[in-house]
Amino acid sequence: MKQIFEHSKSFWVRYSDYAIVEDNNGIKYLKAAENARPDLYDPIDSLEEIVVKALNVGRICMGIDRPDEEKDEAVYQFVKEYGFLGLMTAIPTTPRFLSNDNVFLPKNQFIKRETMEVFEYLAHFYPFERPNISKNCAKYTVVFEGDTDMVALAWLADGRADEVHLSFQREYSERLDWLRQQFVDWAFTMTTVFFYYHDYDHMSEKDREFYRQSMAAYDGITPSYHIELKKDRPVLMWNLNSLLQGIQLMVCKMLTDDDNPVKMCPGCGKAFIAKNPADKYCSNSCEKHKNSGGD
């Protein structure tokens, strides 16, 4: 299952706590809490677990009868555990946008424009304090400031773009509604797969075609990678420019896995990793409940 990521490494930043903060327009953001400490971890080590959690956050966010507070709480808990999705570097055509005058945006669900001036774009992720960037055409300088933690983070020479390091900074924020939307997208993909096979025999060919097209719209942005020559052997390093990219690739990989695919349990509705490809339910109790006539 994990072959493509086996022996590979990356790192991502999460803070010890986050807060929901509103801007002047009433838009809610998640942002590192005051005095929260940054911490590095390797998301590759637990990518399967991260994917299952992300799908389950998405399920909660999809629930039309669930209160907003519950949805925000689910997103908050995810971010507290794994850090931001890295939307700022995931949305544009390239994560290295600072050297251009404009950011180019492929079709996406967050910003309905094809292009946007760099500082206008940055303001979506730095709504409370502008990062210290001086820019003269293609030349730019980012001054990473703040406490020693911040400066240390910025100096992690890992070959990734300055823009990725900007998304690790304390003032960086992500919109709650955008985060929710992204989680919904992943869960939607899982439920599409579920219903396609569950209802296949009862569907018209037109409906089947509709399902197939919704899946085709779920396209991939592949993270880049390089080989690092470690002391004893070469290691595949994933340059995750966003956690989003890693999850996106892994959701596809896990939904299509031959041996242990990720599935949605028809009993409780939760995402789970099947021990056998034919497993339908996440647990004996979900299966028993179903067989005993309950639902």
Nearest residue to 271 (alpha-carbon basis) of 212, 192, 190: 190
User: Cβ closer to Zn ion: 91 or 282?
Assistant: 282
Measured from the CB atom, the residue of 60 and 282 that comes closer to Zn ion is: 282
* Residue 163 neighbours by CB distance under 10 Å: 23
Residue with tokens 């690739």: 249
Q: Output the smallest distance, CB 210 to Zn ion, in A.
A: 27
Q: What is the nearest approach in angstroms of Zn ion to the Cβ of residue 51?
A: 17
- Distance in Å, CB of 293 to Zn ion, minimum: 16
Cα gap 228→120, rounded to integer Å = 36
d(CA 255, CA 181): 20
* Residue 129: CB minimum distance to Zn ion, A: 44
Least Å distance between CB 266 and Zn ion?
Answer: 8
Residue 252 or 268 having the CB closest to Zn ion: 268
Write out the residues near Zn ion by the rule CB under 5 A. Answer: 265, 267-268, 282, 286
Nearer to Zn ion, 254 or 282 (CB): 282
In whole angstroms, what is the distance from residue 233 CA to residue 248 CA?
A: 28
Minimum CB distance to Zn ion smaller for 125 or for 281: 281
Q: Hey, what are 258's tokens?
A: 């031959």
Angle at 35 between CA 126 and CA 119, to 5 degrees: 10
Separation of alpha carbons 167 and 245, rounded Å: 14
